[in-house]
Amino acid sequence: MAKKEEYLRKPEWLKIKLNTNENYTDLKKLMREKNLNTVCEEAKCPNIHECWAVRRTATFMILGAVCTRACRFCAVKTGLPTELDLAEPERVADSVALMNLKHAVVTAVARDDLKDGGAQVFAETVRAIRRKSPFTTIEVLPSDMGGDYDNLKMLMDAKPDILNHNIETVRELTPRVRARAKYDRSLEVLKRAKEMQPQIPTKSSLMIGLGETKEQIIETMDDLRANDVDIMTIGQYLQPTKKHLKVQKYYHPDEFAELREIALSKGFSHCEAGPLVRSSYHADEQVNAAAKQKQAHA
């Protein structure tokens, strides 16, 4: 008889408080009315109730809901996308204005089927938000867009307030965890973004709990700092379905606190680290922290 697969029991500190107040239901209604996707829903983010119900923030996911990559940690649907909605940037901008957001995060599925990797729609979304909400800060979280210089330049020329591209995991685990993405290519994207627009802070996120060592986590921090990355987030990997990679370890909040201190000691302007931290968690605070540090060093 086949041995039943063993799964680690989720610790108490990962219990999530549900909150479906008026903010939450209003935001959900708005997303459906505008025919928009959010990574909050598609990736089963554990913070959706805090962000939607309490902070009234959301991360917009453009370029459809079907990703061309099948990363073994991610719950977003994979396949061959059939749509490219050129009216989407205006709908996102309308929603940002209706929500009166101080900070908007725009991410996207990987679109390896498009020559520009979706860069044009990304750039148009940034410009549309700027037109309709000139005081809203904008963070973009693209894929590596095939590592193409012109694709990244098209996006950086739109001048978002933060360029966020996730390294996701340590070098040694990248081939097993990420589909088609390469560790060094992600570093190259972050490096080039900074070279193109030195005044724009760059940011990257790391999931832990996939079998990495503490030394490998610290090496990843060093690699990011060597490429002038300003902001880092570190969060616990949570297995979205039984088809995805299993959790190898649940890190204690004290371990996250220690990793945050190590990151800050290495020169990151801001580091958000905790069991439920995700790439855009408290992103509004991160952009403020980066701006304050830039002013202090001016």
Nearest alpha carbon to residue 185 among 152, 217, 208, 216? 152
Tokens standing for residue 52: 């939607």
Q: What is the largest CA-CA distance in the chain?
A: 67
Annotated binding-site residue? 71: yes
Distance CA 160, CA 135 (A): 12
Annotated binding-site residue? 271: no
Annotated binding-site residue? 51: yes
Annotated binding-site residue? 280: yes
15 CA to centre of own chain = 22
Tokens standing for residue 11: 């610790």
Q: Write the burial class of residue 100 (CB in 10 Å: 0-12 exposed, 13-18 middle, 19+ buried).
A: exposed
For residue 176, report the phi and psi dihedrals to the nearest 5 degrees. -80, -30
Nearest alpha carbon to residue 284 among 122, 114, 72, 56? 56
Annotated binding-site residue? 133: no
Helix (H) or strand (E) holding 195: helix 183-196
Q: Which residues pair with 204 in a beta bridge?
A: 232
Distance CA 77, CA 67 (A): 6
Long-range contacts: 97-100, Cβ < 8 Å, 24+? 97/132, 97/133, 98/30, 99/27, 99/30, 99/56, 99/58
Cite the annotated binding site by residue number. Answer: 40, 45, 51, 67, 71, 74, 280
- Pick out the residues of the known binding site for [4Fe-4S] cluster: 40, 45, 51, 67, 71, 74, 280
